[in-house]
């Protein structure tokens, strides 16, 4: 009986188990169903078979099928034999080895044209069942090209492990997730074709070690990882990270004991905060708080230190244990240990572990200290200090080095150990660490006296340098709600209680000669508090002149606020190409307002003038001590330094250094000291002791109140996402460009690694974010005649239908997007104000003032996110649209707080406009997954990109 077409189908049959036997890996398989029975008939794919069943395939694919027959394999073998016979006479490779390589390469080549046609036919494969039999089952052959990637991890025994991965279509799976048949890998019945080079790499790796002990890391790096990295992405979690530490190490000796009679010296080297010891290796990897750094060890420096230690005693050079030991008796002979100890300190070698010794005698004397203030000059205090154990006085320079090294023991002349107890450390360690030691005196900033506020009188060292009457006022300010100072005359404002406290705090610190950082939350009235303080200063010093330095966008805002709240203060703006230097010298100008850029340009003229108060608005502009603007600001003559910033710490603790050094010169030592003593210990190690110590130092001079703490009457703020679903034309364009960018980005990552692909990632993300806003932001040749913007349509719909009677702020990062919105608004008859970074400051202030007027009918304000996210008071608005939200939520909050601030009486609604199933939604999901990306500690685009893994990048472009 004839067989109907529906009961007969022809597929290609894969037999990967034959790869190393008869090499007939592909056959034609007929599956015939008749009378409830299924027959599987394998046929060789000869010319007639191909003509009958595979004529729709490409010519290369049909030619490849013929080569998989017995005759085709025989011809391939003959060609290989001829090639072998033509090899030079010196070839020593056996024919069997040569043949196996050559036939595998040939089969791999034959699969290439089949892979490109894989979707045009059905596939089956023969797989081995649990009982060892072969069974035919459906499978598929993927057209995707898998890529090999590698990753280095570390196990509990500190061994490095090499892991192999297969990367394709944005996903990465371990190689052991696949079944591998030479150059074919299979998972879940789907086959993928490796390149022959990838196959060779995996075969080579089978002969190489897959792990390395601590001592074998250098060889593992050279013999395996470096060779792999020539052609593949190798994620070196431990051996190579984005940050390398390559510095001259500081030398340290750790003291310990062997039994009760031997003293041991163990050399160590400090690379920043990372400690190296033991035999020298080229590099070591250290992970702290999830961040891994590659420490490149300096062989010359370490060898020099070893030679120094071996020169200390004649027996040391003969010891080969990586440490040096000496008997207690020998160490005490002729005060050898005492001399070596002091010699090491003189050479700036840290000596650690003394407090762990059990058998060296501890001194029976407690530390005794006397202090006398011998000189007060400007803002420094000189203290004569005597520290003794019994009759032995300790050199202050030695004490300072010990404290820098974190040591609390002092070696005395009789080889006993003097203990610096906790009480002594609390009283004197900060004094010595922050001071300049000369013989038996230490000179420090007089503002260290603030740290002794609650210290009992008999333990005070510096507190007396500040007048007792002032301390009484300070205590009253802290403990009593009653005003310490009345508002100065001429102030047109009623201050809230916390604003009154802030103004008084500034006045108190000015009276003490210190500086201040007012770090209140955005929108709590830092400007008003500052103006009250300037008026107070002017009331007590009628001829005083003050300088306000701020971003150019806030110049006229400051001038208007001065006129509003303190009209009796004569102010002027010094800014722009037409500015006159005579402004700087005019005595009748009581408050001069200028920008950071102008200060940098006019510093020669400005530094000649004495200002009673120099106020820095958005003071994080000087967080970099090396920046020109920071150096310029520090050249100003300021009787009182005032910093204003809702975010004085934006990146890390070191941001505080330049700002606080401007306010309190000399108090925090040099930048290297601050970085070592506080910034690194806090940011890298989360050292609670150092956090408390820095807080103790800064808290009198840094005042921060949040809205939750002090503005309970502020109306609520509601934040939500306004989801935008692209219409088919815009979505099709997005998907097309996304795929193009994705391919380009991953090619670059594969070639150069993720760390070197930052710019490609940023540019790719930028294009997709622009496309989410509007295709018109792309170059014309990339728009494909698509002009529709779903976000623009939704925004106009909201403004015309739901928000006619509300005032609205619209923020965008792209000035060109604001221009497109302006064009669309004009077409719809929507009136608006509009400013970006190119708008002159005076014009910005005029628009902001007009917008705030109750009778003003312009209800929409288009604002550049970068130019308008700080300083502006736009409380007339109660709706805020973030047209293109980005990863930095702190910047977005600053923008929203243009409306949600003191003076706002209405509920504020803020909408983030997010396109569904795009990079914008992926960024939100990543922020939720990785909370650190949503914080304010990273402020630059590159910081965001550097925090991403390859998996994150794949997710963003999915």
Contact 895, 868 (CB under 8 A): yes
Tokens representing 322 are 């990586």
- Residue 287, pLDDT score: 58
More confident: 882 or 145: 882
Question: Which positions ≥6 away from 859 have C-beta within 8 Å?
Answer: 799, 803, 804, 805, 806, 807, 808, 831
The alpha carbon dihedral of 473, 477, 481, 485 has a sign of positive
Strand order in the sheet with 808-812: 717-724, 908-915, 879-882, 808-812, 860-864, 832-835
Burial 915-935 (b: 16+ CB within 10 A, else e): beebbbebbeebbeeeeebbe
Task: Provide the pLDDT confidence category of residue 6 given band limits of 50, 70 and 90.
Answer: low
Q: Tell me, what's the pLDDT at 929? A: 63
Q: How confident is the model at residue 651 (pLDDT cuts 50, 70, 90)?
A: low
Place of tokens 């090491």: 344
**Position 849 pLDDT exceeds 70:** yes
- Tell me which of 289-298, 358-367, 813-822 is least confident: 289-298
Segment (H or E) for 70: helix 70-85
Residues 6+ apart with CB under 8 A from 420: 367, 402, 408, 409, 410, 429
Question: What pLDDT score does 529 carry?
Answer: 95
Contact 957, 738 (CB under 8 A): yes
Strand partners, 283: 296
End-to-end CA separation in angstroms for the chain: 53
pLDDT band for position 934 (50/70/90)? very low
Q: Is 657 left (phi over 0), alpha (psi -120 to 50) or beta?
A: alpha
pLDDT of residue 396: 94
Over the stretch 745-792, which tens digit does the pLDDT of each residue have?
Answer: 787 777 777 767 677 788 888 888 889 999 998 888 787 788 889 999
| pLDDT on residue 761 | 80
Q: Hey, is 100 helix, strand or coil?
A: helix
Mean pLDDT of 46-52: 89
**pLDDT band for position 869 (cuts 50, 70, 90):** low
Cα(826)–Cα(621) distance, rounded to whole angstroms? 37
- ∠ CA 860-862-863, rounded to 5°: 135
Percent of the chain whose predicted confidence (pLDDT) is above 90: 32
CA dihedral 729, 731, 733, 736 (to 10 degrees): -140
pLDDT score, position 890: 66
pLDDT at 2: 39
Question: How many Å apart are CA 850 and CA 586, to the nearest integer?
Answer: 31
**How many CB atoms lie under 10 A from the CB of residue 89?**
4
The answer on pLDDT for 13 being more than 90 is yes
Q: CA–CA separation, 26 vs 68, rounded Å?
A: 6
Query: Rounded to the nearest 5 degrees, what angle is found at the Cα of 579, between the Cα atoms of 575 and 584?
Result: 85
CA dist 171 and 169 (Å) reads 6
> Hey, where are the domains in the chain?
5-141, 147-180+191-236, 246-356, 367-463, 467-710, 717-956
CB count in 10 Å sphere of residue 816: 14
Cα–Cα nearest to 451, from 705, 695, 649, 704: 695
Residues 6+ away with beta carbon under 8 Å from 78: none
629, 622 Cβ separation under 8 angstroms = yes
CA 535 to chain CA mean position, Å: 42
pLDDT tens digits, one per residue of 160-210: 889 899 887 667 788 988 999 999 999 888 999 998 989 999 999 998 888
CB 211 within 8 Å of CB 160: yes
Report residue 662's pLDDT band, with 50, 70 and 90 as the boundaries.
Answer: very high
- Decide: helix, strand or coil at residue 921: helix
Q: What does the DSSP 8-state code read for residue 676? A: I
**For position 868, what pLDDT does the model report?**
64
**What is the DSSP code (8-state) at residue 799?**
I
pLDDT of residue 943: 47
In the prediction, which pLDDT does 3 show? Answer: 41
Q: Are 724 and 921 in contact (CB under 8 A)?
A: no
**Region 426-449 average pLDDT:** 91
Mean pLDDT of the chain: 85
Phi/psi-derived region of residue 887, left when phi > 0, alpha when psi is between -120 and 50, beta in every other case:
alpha
Q: What is the DSSP letter of 834?
A: E
Parallel, antiparallel or unpaired: strands 808-812 and 879-882: parallel
Beta bridge partners of residue 136, listed in sequence order: 126
Phi then psi for residue 421, to 5 deg, are -75, 170
Q: Which two tokens stand for residue 958?
A: 């999915």
Architecture field, domain 467-710: 3-Layer(aba) Sandwich (3.40)
Cβ contact 807:879 at 8 Å: yes
3-state helix/strand/coil string of 368-403 = EEEEEEEEEECCEEEEEEEEEECCEECCHHHHHHHH
Residue 515 pLDDT > 50: yes
- Helices (DSSP H) in 607-705: which residue ranges? 628-633, 655-663, 671-674, 680-683, 688-698
Asked if 165 and 235 count as a contact pair (C-beta separation under 8 A), the reply is no
What confidence score (pLDDT) does residue 746 get?
Answer: 80
CA dihedral 887, 890, 892, 897 (to 10 degrees): 170
Homologous superfamily (CATH) of 717-956 is P-loop containing nucleotide triphosphate hydrolases (3.40.50.300)
CA–CA distance, 323 with 265 (Å, rounded to integer): 6
Q: What is the pLDDT of residue 754?
A: 73
| Pairwise CA distance, residues 185 & 193, whole Å | 7
Q: What is the mean pLDDT of residues 467-494?
A: 91
d(CA 840, CA 833): 14
Integer angstrom CA distances of residue 309 from 27, 300, 326, 327: 74, 14, 12, 16
Mean predicted confidence (pLDDT) in 85-112:
87
Asked if residues 383 and 438 have their Cβ atoms less than 8 Å apart, the reply is no
Is 50 exceeded by the pLDDT of residue 937? no
Structure tokens at 721: 């996402």
Residue 725's pLDDT is 84
Measure the CA–CA gap between 125 and 141, rounded to whole angstroms. 10
Instruction: Please give the full DSSP string across 474-538, using - where no structure is assigned.
Output: HHHHHH-SS-SSPPPTT------HHHHHHHHHHHHHHHHT--EEE-PPTTS-HHHHHHHHHHHHH
What does the angle CA 173 – CA 176 – CA 180 come to, to the nearest 5 degrees?
105
- Cβ atoms 796, 821 nearer than 8 A: no
State whether residue 624 is helix, strand or coil: coil
- Using DSSP, state whether 666 is helix, strand or coil: coil
946 versus 617: the higher-pLDDT residue is 617
For the segment 89-116, the average pLDDT, to the nearest whole number, is 88
Which helix (H) or strand (E) is 382 found in, with range?
Answer: strand 380-389
Neighbours of 331 (CB within 10 A): 20
CB atoms within 10 A of CB 756: 12
Confidence class for position 269, pLDDT limits 50, 70, 90:
very high
pLDDT in tens, 565-605: 999 999 999 998 888 888 888 888 999 999 999 999 999 99
């Amino acid at each position: 009986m004839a067989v109907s077409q529906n009961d007969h189908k022809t597929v290609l049959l894969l037999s990967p188990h034959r790869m190393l036997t008869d090499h007939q890996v592909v056959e034609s398989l007929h599956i015939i169903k008749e009378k409830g029975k299924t027959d599987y008939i394998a046929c060789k794919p000869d010319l007639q078979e191909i003509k009958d069943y595979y004529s729709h395939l490409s010519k290369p694919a049909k030619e490849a099928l013929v080569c998989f027959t017995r005759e085709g394999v025989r011809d391939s073998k003959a060609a290989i034999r001829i090639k072998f016979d033509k090899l030079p006479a010196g070839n020593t490779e056996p024919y069997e080895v040569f043949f196996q390589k050559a036939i595998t390469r040939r089969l791999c080549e034959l699969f290439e044209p089949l892979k490109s046609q894989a979707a045009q036919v059905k596939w089956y494969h023969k797989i081995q069942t649990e009982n060892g039999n072969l069974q035919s089952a459906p499978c598929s052959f993927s057209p995707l090209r898998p890529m090999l990637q590698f990753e280095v991890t570390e196990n509990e025994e500190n061994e490095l492990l090499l892991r192999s991965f297969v990367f394709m279509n944005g996903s990465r799976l371990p190689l052991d997730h696949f079944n591998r048949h030479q150059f074919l890998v299979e998972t879940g019945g789907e086959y993928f074709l490796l390149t022959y080079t990838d196959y060779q790499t995996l075969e080579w790796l089978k002969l190489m070690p897959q792990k390395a002990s601590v001592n074998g890391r250098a060889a593992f790096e050279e013999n395996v990882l470096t060779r792999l990295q020539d052609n593949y992405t190798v994620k070196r979690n431990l051996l190579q990270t984005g940050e390398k530490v390559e510095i001259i190490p500081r030398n340290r000796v750790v003291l310990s004991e062997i039994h009760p009679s031997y003293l041991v010296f163990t050399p160590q080297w400090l690379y920043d905060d990372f400690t190296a010891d033991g035999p020298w290796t080229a590099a070591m990897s250290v992970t702290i708080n999830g961040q891994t750094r590659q420490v490149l060890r300096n062989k010359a420096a370490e060898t020099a230190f070893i030679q120094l230690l071996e020169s200390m005693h004649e027996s040391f050079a003969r010891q080969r244990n990586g440490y040096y030991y000496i008997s207690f008796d020998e160490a005490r002979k002729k005060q050898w240990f005492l001399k070596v100890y002091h010699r090491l300190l003189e050479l700036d070698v840290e000596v650690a572990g003394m407090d762990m010794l059990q058998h060296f005698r501890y001194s029976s004397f407690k530390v005794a200290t006397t202090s006398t203030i011998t000189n007060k000059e400007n803002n420094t205090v000189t203290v004569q200090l005597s520290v003794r154990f019994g009759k032995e006085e300790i050199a202050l320079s030695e004490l300072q080095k010990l404290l820098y090294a974190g040591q609390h023991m002092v070696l005395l002349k009789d080889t006993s150990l003097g203990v610096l107890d906790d009480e002594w450390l609390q009283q004197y360690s900060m004094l010595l660490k922050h001071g300049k030691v000369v013989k038996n005196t230490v000179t420090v900033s007089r503002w260290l006296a603030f740290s002794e506020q609650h210290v009992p009188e008999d333990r005070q060292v510096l507190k007396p340098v500040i007048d007792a009457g002032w301390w009484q006022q300070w205590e009253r300010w802290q403990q009593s709600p009653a005003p310490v100072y009345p508002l100065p005359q001429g102030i047109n404002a009623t201050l809230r209680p916390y604003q009154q406290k802030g103004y008084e705090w500034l006045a108190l610190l000015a009276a003490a000669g210190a500086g201040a950082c007012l770090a209140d939350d955005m929108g709590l009235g830092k400007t008003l508090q500052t103006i009250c303080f300037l008026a107070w200063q002017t009331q007590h010093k009628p001829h005083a002149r003050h300088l306000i330095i701020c971003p150019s966008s806030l110049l006229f805002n400051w001038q208007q606020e001065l006129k509003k709240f303190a009209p009796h203060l004569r102010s002027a703006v010094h800014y722009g190409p037409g500015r006159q230097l005579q402004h700087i010298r005019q005595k009748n100008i009581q408050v001069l307002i200028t920008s950071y850029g102008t200060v940098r340009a006019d510093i020669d003229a400005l530094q000649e003038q004495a200002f009673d108060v120099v106020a820095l608005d958005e003071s994080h502009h000087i967080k970099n001590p090396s920046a020109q603007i920071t150096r310029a600001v520090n050249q100003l003559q300021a009787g009182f330094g005032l910093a204003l910033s809702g975010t004085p710490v934006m990146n890390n603790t070191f941001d505080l250094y330049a700002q606080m050094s401007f306010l309190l010169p000399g108090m925090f030592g040099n930048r290297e000291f601050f970085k070592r003593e506080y910034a690194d210990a806090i940011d890298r190690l989360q050292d609670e002791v150092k956090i408390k110590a820095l807080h103790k130092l800064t808290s009198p001079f840094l005042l921060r109140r949040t809205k939750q703490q002090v503005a309970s009457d502020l109306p609520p703020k509601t934040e939500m996402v306004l989801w935008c679903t692209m219409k088919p034309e815009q979505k099709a364009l997005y998907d097309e460009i996304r795929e193009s960018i994705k391919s380009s980005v991953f090619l670059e990552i594969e070639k150069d690694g993720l760390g070197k692909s930052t710019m490609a990632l940023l540019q790719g993300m930028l294009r997709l974010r622009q496309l989410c806003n509007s295709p018109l932001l792309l170059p014309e040749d990339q728009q494909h005649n698509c002009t529709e913007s779903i976000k623009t349509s939704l925004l106009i719909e909201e403004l015309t239908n739901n928000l006619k009677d509300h005032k609205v702020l619209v923020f965008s990062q792209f000035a060109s997007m604001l221009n497109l919105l302006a064009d669309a608004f004009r077409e719809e008859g929507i009136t608006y104000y509009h400013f970006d970074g190119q708008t002159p400051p005076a014009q910005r202030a005029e628009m902001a003032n007009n917008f705030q007027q109750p009778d003003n009918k312009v209800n929409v304000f288009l604002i550049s996110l970068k130019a308008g996210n700080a300083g502006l008071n736009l409380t007339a608005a109660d709706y805020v649209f973030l047209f293109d939200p980005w990863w930095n939520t702190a910047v977005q909050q600053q923008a929203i707080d243009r409306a949600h601030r003191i003076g706002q009486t209405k509920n504020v609604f803020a909408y983030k406009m997010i396109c569904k199933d795009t990079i914008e939604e992926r960024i939100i999901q990543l922020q939720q997954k990785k909370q650190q990306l949503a914080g304010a500690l990273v402020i630059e685009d590159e910081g965001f990109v550097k925090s991403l893994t390859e998996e994150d990048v794949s997710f963003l472009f999915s």
